[in-house]
Amino acid sequence: MAVAALDLMKSRRSVRRFKPDLPGRGLIEKLIEAAVTAPSASNKQPWRFLVVTSRPAVSRMADAVREAVERVSKHVEAGWRDAFRDYGDYFTRFESAPVVIVPLYRGLELLSNMTGPSLPQADRRRIVALEAGSGLVSVSLAIQNLLLMAHSLGLGASAMTGPLIALDKVRAILEVPGSWDVAAVIPVGFPAEEPPPISRKSAEQVTRWIE
């Protein structure tokens, strides 16, 4: 079982080109079912998932991202401008996907509700950061579950944060409630490409033992 799980992780690829066929609702529901099995801070499960199949909505999101990339590019140093625009082109790769899943999250509110005004500001800042980060870490675990399930079902997907360069407009288009934050944009569909393996640092390179 452990070997099979590791093989699944190693063979997963980030897919950004898709066939036009719309995956059945049952397949998408399985992705969400996998996502919500993830652990979360204090088991608060601080996530929601928007499943976007509306082509006008996806197109409006992509247009908003393009506008943001162009706006920002005007403030990039001339020598880097073309490279930035090329990089920004990746931010709209979700546009061709038949399904776009947008995971939302919110921070934990627990310790901050227990402490009073006498708490030193340094401790308060750390608690606020801890609680905000807990929501993002929790939904990130859910996203990984979703990506692995997609791969196991023969679907392609990738977790994109580049589109958040147009976060305000994305929120408005999707009518995201003010109490929730957007973690990523995940295009999903039947893959129209087979990305080659990419190099990975070895476990030894990224591990430091403290004994």
Q: Report the first-to-last Cα separation within the chain, whole angstroms.
A: 30
Half-sphere exposure of 195 (CA within 13 A, CB side): 17
> What tokens were used for 107?
């921070």
pLDDT digit string (tens) for 89-133? Answer: 999 999 999 999 999 999 888 888 888 889 999 999 999 899 889
Neighbours of 75 (CB within 10 A): 8
> What tokens were used for 40?
């979360």
Q: Does residue 3 surpass a pLDDT of 70?
A: no
Lowest mean pLDDT among 82-96, 105-119, 144-158, 168-182: 105-119
CATH number of 12-189: 3.40.109.10
pLDDT digit string (tens) for 42-73? Answer: 899 999 999 999 999 999 999 999 999 999 99
